[in-house]
Amino acid sequence: MSDEIEYRESKEVPVQQLHALFRREQWADHLELDEVEFYLEVALHVVTAWRGDEIIGFARLEGDGRISVEISDVLVRSDFQGQGIGTELVRRLVEHIRQLDPYYIQVEPTGDREVHLYEKFGFREMPGCRQMELPNPKLMRKIAEVRGGRAGD
């Protein structure tokens, strides 16, 4: 088995392997196989990390792709954490998001470690809630245009 990590950007993920990763990491482990399949189907974009034929990382983007998107899931197998895999998964999602160019780009981190990860990509905490947003100049320009040059109103 190769020690090199391969990244794939496709919703074509073996459902049984993803289900096994969820169970192993006790993350969304309540989902049945058909629900994991649905989880993939409704994703806007999926990035996975592989070592040989083993899935070791998973990240999913959801939303409409035009108005808003959310990085909803980033999971790296516990024995591979701390190797930059989660960072690469998020980097690839952010790259895809920039191609879509939606108005709203959000994530809801569950702890300080995730907050730090998303801050690397320019996300900032939103006042009064647990979400973070990636500021988008497109949104500020559109608001200014609609409000006659007053984006802060």
* The pairing of beta strand 104-107 with beta strand 68-76: parallel
Domain-located, residue 153: no
**Domain-embedded: residue 141:** yes
- Would you say residue 9 lies in a domain? yes
Answer whether 29's CB lies under 8 Å from 4's CB.
Answer: no
Predicted local confidence at residue 152, as pLDDT: 56
Which domain CATH number covers 27?
Answer: 3.40.630.30
pLDDT at residue 1 tops 80: no
Residue 2 has pLDDT above 70, yes or no: no
> Total domain count for the chain?
1
pLDDT of residue 130: 82
Question: Letter for the amino acid at 21?
Answer: L
| Residue 79 included in any domain | yes
72: helix, coil or strand? strand
Domain for residue 112, yes or no? Answer: yes
Q: Which domain holds residue 121?
A: 5-146
Q: Does residue 151 sit within a domain? A: no
pLDDT band at 128 (very low <50, low <70, confident <90, very high): confident
> In this structure, is residue 103 part of a structural domain?
yes
Cβ-based neighbour number of residue 93 at 10 Å:
26
The pTM of the full predicted model, rounded to 2 decimals, is 0.88
Of 7, 117, 22, 15, give the one whose Cα is nearest residue 71.
117
Q: Is residue 99 part of a domain?
A: yes
Nearest to 47 by CA among 87, 19, 82: 87
- State residue 139's pLDDT score: 83
Mean predicted confidence (pLDDT) in 67-79 = 95
